[in-house]
């Protein structure tokens, strides 16, 4: 079960007529360029958007381009645990596809994003971030082997407002690299590690319970389930939690939080907290004392969106 918030990945495309494609990332402070007829080289410099461009160019019926400038920036930096890298891939795919006359559905753009990250670039990880960015809003997502089914959830406006009123987002101050954590989880799963398997099964059941609590508007129950999901997630790898993360959870629970968990793979990045509404400010103060930066957020109901303007 996932939701999207008001933190975005942005992309702007400007056509050019000299047969050159450039990609500039504000977040990485880097610029790459190559000819429209040149093969894309993956060399560690902006490989994700380059792979997205390459994928679109291979689609049958995609219109040829004479070149363009692509400018990228995000509200959430890489390593934040908020799915920013996958959001960049999704919006680059959608934007370049629209420029080339390809009409992607949310399912198609998410599927292509997953395949280019996992297959083309060999980046380990899951698949939920791409579908969240493509669809937007609250979704219950089932991964069924060779197919993915996305169920948009009709969450009442009152429940959304109550969640926004009760939730906090906190940055640990450490950007994490998830590769080693994900590899450890995969290794434990493939070796049938009993704790890892039990954690996975429990999280699957908790996702169903959280969906029910969300649709019923039971924010208190959702907070309790969120914390249970965090405890089960930690069973998948000893690298997910850190001393700071453990301390932050313990301090938050003592001061009025109902539940907490890391938003990404673990090891750093962001954490999310559901609090008693009249204790939320106390939880925030205690997290700040630990050196974390705390912010509020709102939920976003829209997925990837493209538009065109005349200049």
Q: 148 and 44 share a domain? A: yes
Residue with tokens 């301390």: 247
Q: 116 and 205 share a domain? A: no
pLDDT interval class at 176 (50, 70, 90): low
Q: 8 and 145 share a domain? A: yes
pLDDT at 41: 92
Per-residue pLDDT tens for 254-281? 999 999 999 877 778 899 999 999 999 9
Q: 181 and 214 share a domain? A: yes
Look at residues 237, 239, 230 and name the one whose alpha carbon lies nearest to residue 272.
230
Give the angle subtended at the CA of 126 by the CAs of 124 and 130, to the nearest 5°: 115
Q: How many domains does the chain have?
A: 2
Residue 222 lies in a domain: yes
Residue with tokens 């990045």: 269
Sign of CA dihedral 202, 270, 174, 259: negative
Model confidence at 179: pLDDT above 60: no
pLDDT at 239: 80
Q: 28 and 113 share a domain? A: yes
The CATH number assigned to the domain holding 69 equals 3.30.230.10
Phi-psi region of 75 (alpha: psi -120 to 50; beta: other; left: phi over 0): alpha
pLDDT interval class at 91 (50, 70, 90): very high
- In which domain, by residue range, is 98 found? 4-152
Q: 174 and 146 share a domain? A: no
Q: 140 and 216 share a domain? A: no
Q: 163 and 146 share a domain? A: no
pLDDT at 258: 97
Residue 15 lies in a domain: yes
pLDDT at 178: 53
Six-digit token pair at 157? Answer: 């406006």
Beta-bridge partners for 142: 149
Q: 59 and 118 share a domain? A: yes
Model confidence at 309: pLDDT above 60: yes
Cite the active site residues: 129
The CATH number assigned to the domain holding 185 equals 3.30.70.890
Strands 139-144 and 147-152: antiparallel
Q: 171 and 237 share a domain? A: yes
């Amino acid at each position: 079960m996932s939701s999207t918030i008001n933190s975005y990945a942005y992309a702007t495309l400007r056509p050019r007529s000299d047969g050159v494609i450039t990609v500039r990332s504000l977040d990485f402070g880097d610029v790459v360029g190559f000819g429209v007829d040149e093969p894309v080289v993956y060399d560690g410099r902006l490989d994700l958007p380059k792979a997205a461009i390459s994928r679109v160019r291979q689609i049958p019926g995609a219109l040829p381009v004479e070149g363009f400038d692509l400018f990228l920036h995000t509200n959430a930096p890489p390593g934040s645990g908020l799915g920013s890298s996958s959001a960049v891939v999704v919006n680059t795919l959608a934007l370049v596809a629209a420029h080339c006359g390809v009409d992607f559905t949310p399912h198609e753009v998410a599927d292509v994003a997953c395949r280019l990250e996992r297959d083309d670039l060999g980046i380990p990880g899951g698949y939920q971030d791409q579908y969240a960015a493509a669809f937007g809003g609250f979704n219950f997502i089932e991964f069924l082997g060779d197919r993915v089914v996305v169920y948009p959830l009709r969450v009442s406006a009152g429940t959304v407002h109550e969640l926004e009123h009760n939730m906090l987002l906190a940055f640990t101050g450490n950007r994490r690299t998830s590769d080693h954590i994900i590899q450890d989880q995969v290794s434990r799963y493939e070796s049938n590690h009993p704790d890892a398997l039990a954690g996975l099964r429990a999280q699957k059941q908790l996702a169903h319970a959280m969906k029910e609590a969300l649709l019923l508007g039971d924010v208190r129950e959702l907070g309790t389930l969120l914390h249970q999901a965090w405890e089960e997630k930690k069973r998948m790898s000893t690298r997910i939690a850190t001393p700071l993360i453990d301390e932050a959870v313990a301090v938050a629970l003592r001061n009025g939080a109902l539940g907490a968990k890391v938003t990404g793979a673990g090891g750093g990045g962001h954490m999310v907290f559901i609090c008693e509404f009249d204790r939320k400010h106390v939880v925030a103060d205690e997290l700040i004392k630990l050196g974390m930066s705390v912010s509020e957020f709102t939920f976003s109901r829209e997925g990837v969106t493209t538009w065109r303007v005349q200049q």
